[in-house]
Amino acid sequence: MINVSIVLYNHSVVELLPLLESLRLSGQVNDVFLIDNSPLENTEFRNLHVRYIFTGNNRGYGAGHNIALRQSLEQNVPYHLVVNPDISFDPGILARIVEYMDKNTEIGHLMPKVFYPDGNIQYLCKLLPTPFDLLFRRFLPGNWTKKRMFTFEMRGSGYDKIMDVPYLSGCFMFLRIRVLNDVGLFDERFFMYPEDIDLTRRIHKKYRTVFYPDVSIVHHHEQSSYKNRKMMWVHIVNLIWYFNKWGWLFDPERRAVNKEILGQFD
């Protein structure tokens, strides 16, 4: 069985209903944790068949999910799904993911193929980032960075095959619980944005982190940091902390991992 966590911030019940219905119909879910980091409690969530936890304190995305992940560690469920509220999918995909994970026990983290609502693919399989990939390119014209982004987002793979990826998006993280017992949970020093890079990277050091295109989801993605000055600043500050942790220009592990990953397509 699967536990699921969804972190909320000023979300309504209506926004959550499609995702909650898909989870219910999947027949795979044990507990759904709604971690509400909003400034005010929404008591309507208590009428749903979920475990609603109002924190009253927005400590961040990773810290919110960790509340539920600790519960999954205590329950010793096999898998935990970290998922964004703006995700939709066919309920049947969860059984297929569980079947694949059960057969491939070396996988610690899996992400399916992700589409925009208009049917275009989201390129969410990425190499371990350099400061240029996540910071400096934001301030350069797109045509200057197009070639680099093609490589960074692993577009040469075609996104049509199962492959190992060292940086998978946090919008849908299908995690094996015993692996988290080994490598740890989200690093709560990150308020938002690089926590998925950091966790995928730590898992990838010991286990497989896999893109699984045999199933797909839809992500109603909004890049708030590109539209909101405050969120852009939050993004930048947290990325600085990420590179302080892992290395700016000197990161030999990043170089070795990215070389190995790109070798999959040679």
Residue whose C-alpha is closest to residue 101's, from 169, 174, 173:
174
The total of other beta-carbon atoms located within 10 Å of residue 151's CB is 14
Along the 266 residues of the chain, how does pLDDT read in single tens digits?
899 999 999 999 999 999 999 999 999 999 999 999 999 999 999 999 999 999 988 989 999 999 999 999 999 999 999 999 999 999 999 999 999 999 999 999 999 999 999 999 999 999 999 998 887 666 556 666 789 999 999 999 999 999 999 999 999 999 999 999 999 999 999 998 899 999 999 999 999 999 999 999 999 976 554 457 788 888 889 999 999 999 999 999 999 999 999 988 76
- The CATH number of residue 10's host domain is 3.90.550.10
Parent domain of 212: 2-265
DSSP conformational letter for 156: G
Q: Which distant-in-sequence residues (6+ apart) come within 8 Å of 230 by Cβ?
A: none
pTM attached to this predicted model: 0.94
Looking at residue 226, its pLDDT comes to: 45
The total of other beta-carbon atoms located within 10 Å of residue 23's CB is 22
Strand pairing of 208-219 and 51-54? Answer: unpaired
Q: Which helix (H) or strand (E) holds 100?
A: helix 93-103
Looking at residue 223, its pLDDT comes to: 53
Q: Which helix (H) or strand (E) holds 153?
A: none
Structure tokens at 210: 């896999």
- In a 3-state reduction of DSSP, which class is residue 196? helix
Which residue's structure tokens are 């991992």? 257
Tally of structural domains, the chain: 1
